[in-house]
Structure 1
Amino acid sequence: MVNPALQPAIHALRQARRVLVITGAGLSADSGLPTYRGIGGLYNGNTADGVPIEQALSGPMLRQNPALCWRYLAELGRACLGAHPNAAHFAIARWQQARDGVWVLTQNIDGYHRAAGSPPERLIEIHGQLSPLFCQSCGAESPELAAHLHRPLPPRCSHCEGVLRPPVVLFEERLPEAAIHALYEELAIGYDAVVTLGTTASFAYIAEPVLRAQARGGFTLDINPMPASLGFGVDCQLAMSALDAIPEIVSHILFD
């Protein structure tokens, strides 16, 4: 039996040919990872070193004080390696595998969409991911993130002793050109529906796809336990976690 609250979303998404699913930290919170903002957020207040987390996890800090920056990169790394994709990640991947018009734009760096089976060619990791590490001096790659987290920080290159870093976008760094190009190439084609999961859409490039879909008469859906988290209206707002909503929605889209 269908949850009545989900029926409008199921009906609209079943009709949509092209769908963009935008995911934020709230999706991976159901895997046990900390969210970035809000109650218990990773980015609330100062770090134990007395600097805001945005400063600790910044490009300039990685250059000036790599040991301090890596102290907090390592926290993220341990959290991501210590958890796994949840049922919502797997449901989204099944949806993408069944419908070639479904794309994912994620702000998350945990790699869980890939691990769950989302097709890489329709997955835009706008903030990068935590591995493989690469050397800032010689460019050599190191896939041993877990091993490096048990060694003295910052991790060093085995070839030249340069400082390693993950391919993530730190604060005060530019977004990856390939990801931005892919996003705007697909936005130019347009989406019939845009779904936001566990995000406040505080970045313009996350809010823009929703606003573009609305402008062309597309369906917009926000799923977030905190109501009205986006700061602008959508066609349907579900005050639920992604884990409570997405597996059921996808199941009815694909199998009813």
Structure 2
Amino acid sequence: MVFDDDLKQGLAAFAALLDASDTVVPFTGAGISTDSGIPDFRSPGGLWTRNKPIPFDAFLASAEARREAWQRRFAMDTAFNAARPGPGHRTIARWVASGLSPAVITQNIDNLHQDSGVATESVVEVHGNTTYATCLSCGRRHELSWIRPLFEAHGEAPDCQACGGLLKTATISFGQAMPQEAMRRAGELARRCDVFVAIGSSLVVHPAAGLPLIARDSGAWLVIINREPTPCDEAADIVLRGEIGSILNDRADL
């Protein structure tokens, strides 16, 4: 049921569902972080309306594409460094701390769930993390604070300190293989929960967007909280439309 006209009734239904459930799995997208100052990707004015995504094969093949990718990343440093967890992040952190949620699955790359107090091992990042880089050859982690001054001095990112391979932010680009372990774990969480709550996701980027329906087909209640309609709304038991920060606003019953 869509509660866009009577949000108060929808929140009451959602709170009752949470109270009756043993295992709730939150699945978050960009909409949960806009209150924190992180722009989303698909909405009007979002990042993808201003910059066409750089596919993974172009990053591998072209030094110019790699330079552009790093320039874009460092241009976002102010926003990422200033961002702090919002009401939605704090609510989910409370679910995890209480044992209601075994983990949070996220499409976000901003590290805000960890910053809200959720342990790294309890954050399943299906699209990676932009707050550090990894070597595409050996997987070694490299900090952006080391990469940025070298990039600005030489016009290109340094090579891996361990093997000389290409460095890339630890995010998943178009055409890049999804992280197998994260997707395996996300699927397992979706299949075993009582309630699956999709929060701030457009639910159009696959394969991650298929997780709500995996949960629903496995017997879970499906709740969708988003500003705009999603392709999964008709399959959901509860749809709450509005600003994430207003809906998940640190209320004790949520």
TM-score when scaled to structure 1?
0.82
Report the secondary structure of 1:166's partner residue. strand
In structure 1, the residue matched to 2:148 is: 149
In structure 2, the residue matched to 1:252 is: 253
In structure 1, the residue matched to 2:205 is: 203
Aligned pairs, number: 240
Q: Is 2:177 aligned against 1:174?
A: yes
Residue 23 of structure 1 and its aligned partner are, at CA, apart by 0.6
Of 221, 241, 244, which residue of structure 2 is paired with 1:242?
A: 244
Amino acid at match of 1:132: Y
Distance 1:100 1:154, change over 3 A: farther
Residue 61 of structure 1 and its aligned partner are, at CA, apart by 2.4
Correspondence 1:50-199 to 2 at 5 A: 53-54=52-53, 56=54, 58-63=55-60, 64-65=62-63, 66-136=66-136, 140-143=140-143, 145-146=144-145, 148-150=147-149, 151-152=151-152, 153-157=155-159, 159=161, 163-188=166-191, 190-199=192-201
- Cα deviation per residue 1:171-194 (whole Å; 9 max; x = unaligned)? 110111110121223334x21111
- Cα deviation per residue 1:120-154 (whole Å; 9 max; x = unaligned)? 333210011024323446654322x1453354243
Tell me, in whole angstroms, the C-alpha distance in 1 between the residues paired with 2:34 and 2:74.
18
Amino acid at match of 1:229: T
In structure 1, the residue matched to 2:4 is: none
User: Percent of aligned pairs with the same residue?
Assistant: 25
Q: Any stretches of 5+ residues in structure 2 without a counterpart? A: 1-6
Report the secondary structure of 1:149's partner residue. helix
Residue 239 of structure 1 and its aligned partner are, at CA, apart by 1.6
Distance 1:102 1:230, change over 3 A: farther
Residue 231 of structure 1 and its aligned partner are, at CA, apart by 4.5
80-89 or 14-23, larger mean C-alpha shift: 80-89
Amino acid at match of 1:214: R
Report the secondary structure of 1:172's partner residue. coil
Amino acid at match of 1:198: G
Conserved 8 A contact 1:140-1:157: no
Q: Any stretches of 5+ residues in structure 1 without a counterpart? A: 48-52
Tell me, in whole angstroms, the C-alpha distance in 2 between the residues paired with 1:137 and 1:210.
33
Tell me, in whole angstroms, the C-alpha distance in 2 between the residues paired with 1:3 and 1:248.
15
Q: Is 2:15 aligned against 1:10?
A: yes
Residue 245 of structure 1 and its aligned partner are, at CA, apart by 1.2
Q: Is 2:45 aligned against 1:40?
A: yes
Conserved 8 A contact 2:27-2:104: yes
- Cα deviation per residue 1:55-74 (whole Å; 9 max; x = unaligned)? x2x21222213112222232
